[in-house]
Amino acid sequence: MTSHPSADDLEELAARLTGSRLLTDRDVMDGYRRDEAHLVVPGWPCAVLLASSVEDVSAALAWAHAHDVPVVPRGAGTGLAGGATAVDGCLVVSLARMSAIREISAEDQYAVVEAGVVNADLGRAAVEVGLMYAPDPSSYEISTIGGNVATNAGGLRCVKYGVTRDSVLGLEVVLADGRVIHTGRRTVKGVAGLDLTSLFVGSEGALGIVTSATLKLRPQPPVDPVTIVASFPSLRGAAEAVTAVVREGIGPSLLELIDRNTLRAINDWKHLGLDDGTEAMLIAQVDSVDAKERALRVEAAFEGAGADVVAVSSDRTEAAQLLEVRRLAYPAAEQLGQCLVEDVGVPRSRLPQMIEAIEGIGAAHGVTILTVAHAGDGNLHPTFVFDARPDGEAPPEVWAAADEVFRTALDLDGTLTGEHGVGALKRRWLELEVGPDSLEVQRAIKRALDPKGLLNPGKGF
């Protein structure tokens, strides 16, 4: 049973803080109520904590637990599933000010960073010591490590280097009652106890609030990556090229697909001179010591699948420009109208079927869908574009098309979400994927760690 704290209760919380700010002005709090999932209607928090230390996060959660106040954690607010959407009467805990890189060890190849560190800032710090931080979500210049951990974020390079979970060695977590625990370790191996680190990664703030993370760094690639870009006269041909690259074990460090609708939206917005007749584009990179030889194999796979133009470049500037085209996909879609950005995944061999299904679903429901994909992972991002309604809701045909996309992905042995998380948007479909018994196990874990159900209520499982 949650409650709305009184003014005296909030004064008590403020008195417990040692350096963090507590916001209660309604106009100021408005900027902390929502993330990028605009279809999720936010509630009004009772206060917003701009946390500056783990001690203050601990004090705030102990206070919330004592007063039965729900808590919604947030980082930069770049999430696309509504995971950081405020609920009425909650305490929003913003970790954005906890932005210290506490330690970087070049010798042991790890970094210890606070939750508010921006992904790209960690990447730049790693480069200074000859290393790299691999996960690179499209929002890497603005999204924070805490949010990346909460959603198990992926990115363009995850086809080779894995998602966020594959780079997390340990976590500092504040539990629902204010206790602080440390999971994992800094060693290469370790199997003492249950793997609590993996449990918290991807838990969307429903089990505890991550305040810092110990992250694996990797050696920088031995050469500048070789980039291969190809245009295709059919979307299925591009998908079959991806299947060929995976089947032949070429091992690209990046393999991205952009469909015709997305290319047209980017071109109309940025006037890049892209060929309007292209049905799909693939962008691949290889960064191994034999990158030139592997690039030739990628080129052959693309041509074998029917590419009409293939270009290969080892120029770093050209590579950055091509990747920027891919990162423009979502903001370009926003120029066309309101967007529902989705995140299904299928086994890579079934990528051609899923891509064709999305095209057919859009046509059947009369809904414009722009699709990009971390194709090397089988992770697709169909973006449903529609005219905004006065009530902020999506038209019923959009939800009908989305429902069919989700169910098709599951029918192909896929998943509802590869990296965005369940959040508030996909709760209604979660049981279809995991089943009732698995869902009950997850809820039992939630009850054990958060018996009052105060952490990020209404999100995830």
Angle between helices 396-411 and 427-434 (to 10 degrees): 20
**SS3 of 82, please?**
coil
| 8 Å CB contact between 79 and 37 | yes
Q: Give kind and range of the element (H or E) at residue 61.
A: helix 54-67
**Backbone region of residue 184 per phi and psi (left: phi > 0; alpha: psi in -120 to 50; beta: other values):** left
Cβ(452)–Cβ(65) below 8 Å: yes
Q: DSSP string covering 140-207, please?
A: TTT-BHHHHHHHT---TTHHHH--GGGGEEEEEEE-TTS-EEEEE-SSS---SS--HHHHHTTSTTSS
Q: Which strands form 71-74's sheet, in the order they lie side by side?
A: 21-23, 47-50, 91-94, 71-74
Q: Give one DSSP letter per residue of 269-333, joined into a string.
A: HH-----TT-SEEEEEEE-STTHHHHHHHHHHHHHHTT-SEEEEE--HHHHHHHHHHHHTHHHHH
Could you tell me whether strands 280-286 and 379-386 are parallel, antiparallel, or unpaired per DSSP bridges? unpaired
- Closest to 210 measured CA to CA, from 221, 224, 200, 219: 200
- Distance CA(35)–CA(85), nearest Å, equals 6
- pLDDT for 2: 66
CB-side exposure of 380: number of CA atoms within 13 Å? 33
Contact 58, 208 (CB under 8 A): no
Residues forming beta bridges with residue 174, ordered by sequence position: 180, 209
| Residue owning tokens 């710090």 | 125
369 DSSP 8-state letter? E
CA–CA gap between residue 101 and residue 380 (Å, rounded): 32
Identify any residues that bridge with 311 across adjacent strands, giving them in sequence order: 229
Residues near 152 by beta carbon (within 8 Å), at least 6 away in sequence: 163, 164, 165, 201, 202, 419, 421
Instruction: List the chain pLDDT tens, one digit each, 461 residues.
Output: 567 899 999 999 999 999 999 999 999 999 999 999 989 999 999 999 999 999 999 999 999 999 999 999 999 999 999 999 999 999 999 999 999 999 999 999 999 999 999 999 999 999 999 999 999 998 999 999 999 999 999 999 999 999 999 999 999 999 999 999 999 999 888 899 999 999 999 999 999 999 999 999 999 998 899 999 999 999 999 999 999 999 999 999 999 999 999 999 999 998 878 777 789 999 999 999 999 999 999 999 999 999 999 999 988 888 888 888 888 898 999 999 999 999 999 999 999 999 999 999 999 999 999 999 999 999 999 999 999 777 778 999 999 999 999 999 999 999 999 999 999 999 999 999 999 999 999 999 999 999 999 999 999 88
Domains assigned to the chain: 7-94 (3.30.43.10), 101-219 (3.30.465.10), 221-332 (3.30.70.2190)
